[in-house]
Amino acid sequence: MSRTDLAYATVTELAAGLAAGQFSALELADERLARIAATQPVLNAFVSVDPDGARAAAKAADAARAKGEAGALTGIPIAHKDLFMAEGLRTTCSSKMLEHFVAPYDAHVVTALKQAGTVLLGKTAMDEFAMGSSTETSFFGLVRNPWQLDAVPGGSSGGAAVAVAAGLVPAATGSDTGGSIRQPSSFCGVTGIKPTYGICSRHGMVAFASSLDQAGPMARSAEDCALLLTAMAGHDARDATSLPHPKEDYRREIAEPMSQKPLEGIRIGLPDVFFGDGVDAPVVAAVEAALTELRALGAVTVPVALPNIGYSVPVYHVLGPAEASSNLSCFDGVRYGHRAAQYTDLLDMYKKTRAEGFGDEVKRRILIGTYVLSHGYYDAYYLKAQKVRRLIAEDYQAAFTQCDVILGPTVPTTAPLLGAQMQDPIKMYLNDIFTIGANLAGIPAMSVPCGFTSGGLPGSLPIGMQLQGPYFSEARLLNIAHRFQQATDWHQRTPKG
């Protein structure tokens, strides 16, 4: 493989190269570390890079292979979103509050991928505490979209999406509370899946909104996502919401032989709200073209209704902040992270610490959350939002009696220019209209590259389509995406330079 081929190779291809002895895990890690160093001044995808740890892990992977103990992910370089604790490394959540916080233990997902033999290169940038859609709220500076440097990468897992899209790592972890895996995947032309709530343990993953947060993989193909998810998923008693679900091989449907009509019998539900006003024309066109492709592969499409999905954004912006205001109360200058240098008494210390440590978006959400939980407003806002959340989940249940999966655009637009949304948070919130429903219902959902603006000419931006399915339908979603990716090359395109 040439140097550029190597950079944009998938996990599956790299695993084959490692197995064939074309390169060692150490050579691969060194090549990626050099690419990260070269791109970091422009893209800023990483908050921390760990060359020493990476080389040590790569040597261990090579040694395991020499002993005949290599698995599918042995020696594969990866990066973790900077809200997963990785022992001995900083875990900042891209916040000044945790600027110098060093994780004392590994998150469950970090341990799982370590045990699978992956090589951790570093921690990726995100919106502060995962609150945002553009990675512009990171304390460590903005992150650029490799397809168009003055566009946002999306968020909150923006650094992860950039790292995969720019060939810095073949795969990365992200977290998704309202779309943070799927939306940056869509904006950067990569594949990402948010699994069923409870599939990946949240132990050691810094909480934003605990009833919505889920970890998931982002990679260059659905097959690679399946490989990573297989390693990441599994019951963990340390997270009370971790499901006692048996371990699955998420690649099992992909591994079945390809037939002429591999999607024969699959019913794709199309909610009209996903194709209505407010969706950019190139996005609609790309998703329609993808549907034509999926029909050619044997799938049929049926109309379905999600009558309450229009309430998902307001419901999310009551429940998410409510949970965040509680989760983030531990950042008080006593237990973790930043503490104000000067203060008069304890209360003043709390106030100054939090005023200095948190950015505007985080403060906005803590204020809203505290308000909706306060006496007199709890019933009107928090309780009401919980009831509507249930209605949205029931809409999905009803829809899945008529179809196997639901399809639409991941986001109504392509990546906006840097700075364009920062003055208008409400507009930014509304862009999550298609992704939030899956978090509220707890169902799995993924974003798959399906086209570009201006037909992929230089300067054009990626478009993603979203597949949503019933609980535990990950293997099916990944297989549908895989069959689509075998018939198309959108996921293989690479940004220039």
Binding of residue 154 to ligand GLN (CB under 6 A) = no
128 in contact with ligand GLN (CB under 6 A): no
Token pair 């982002």 is found at: 218
When asked if residue 184 is in the footprint of ligand GLN (CB under 6 A), the reply is: no
CB 195 within 8 A of CB 216: yes
Of 136 and 432, nearer to ligand GLN (C-beta) is 432
The torsion of the CA quartet 116, 117, 119, 125, rounded to 10 degrees, works out to: 10
To ligand GLN, the closest distance from the beta carbon of 182 in angstroms equals 9
Cα gap 273→434, rounded to integer Å: 9
Q: Point out the residues that are catalytic.
A: 81, 156, 180
Tell the burial category of 375 from Cβ atoms under 10 Å away from its Cβ (0-12, 13-18, 19+): exposed
Query: Any residues with CB less than 8 A from the CB of 417 and at least 6 apart, and which?
Result: 150, 151, 152
Query: Which amino acid is residue 297, in one-letter code?
Result: L
Name which of 409, 402, 422 is nearest 448 in CA terms.
409
Residue (10 or 135) nearer to ligand GLN, CB: 135
179 lies in the site for ligand GLN, by CB under 6 A? yes
Cβ 432 to ligand GLN shortest distance, Å: 5
Q: Out of 44, 92, 133, 327, name the contact with ligand GLN by CB under 6 A.
A: 133
Minimum distance, C-beta of residue 190 to ligand GLN, in the bound complex (Å): 16
Positions 411 through 440 that interact with ligand GLN (CB under 6 A): 432
Residues 207-226 that bind ligand GLN (CB under 6 A): 208
DSSP H or E run through 301: strand 300-304
CA distances from 90 to 124, 243, 269, 356 (A): 11, 29, 43, 19
180 binds ligand GLN (CB under 6 A): yes
132 binds ligand GLN (CB under 6 A): yes
In sequence order, what are the residues at sequence separation of 6 or more whose Cβ sits closer than 8 angstroms to the Cβ of residue 455?
A: none
Q: Segment contacting ligand GLN (CB under 6 A): 1-9, 176-184, 235-243, 293-301?
A: 176-184
Interface with ligand GLN includes 323 (CB under 6 A)? no
Task: Work out whether 174 is an interface residue with ligand GLN (CB under 6 A).
Answer: no
Q: By beta-carbon distance, which residue lies closest to ligand GLN?
A: 180
Which 8-state DSSP code applies to residue 257? P
Burial class (CB in 10 A: 0-12, 13-18, 19+), 457: exposed
Only one of the segments 174-182, 276-284, 390-398, 475-483 lies at the binding site for ligand GLN (rule: CB under 6 A); that segment is: 174-182
156 binds ligand GLN (CB under 6 A): yes
For the CB of residue 216, give the shortest distance to ligand GLN in the complex, in Å.
11
Closest CA to 81 of 110, 112, 119: 110
Residue 131 sits in the site that holds ligand GLN (CB under 6 A): yes
176 part of the interface to ligand GLN, by CB under 6 A: yes
Per CB under 6 A, the segment of 90-98, 141-149, 175-183, 352-360 that binds ligand GLN is: 175-183
Least distance (Å) between residue 253 CB and ligand GLN: 27
148-170 as b/e: b if 16+ CB within 10 A: beebbbbbbbbbbbbbbbbbbbb
Interface with ligand GLN (CB under 6 A): 130-133, 156, 176-180, 208, 320, 432
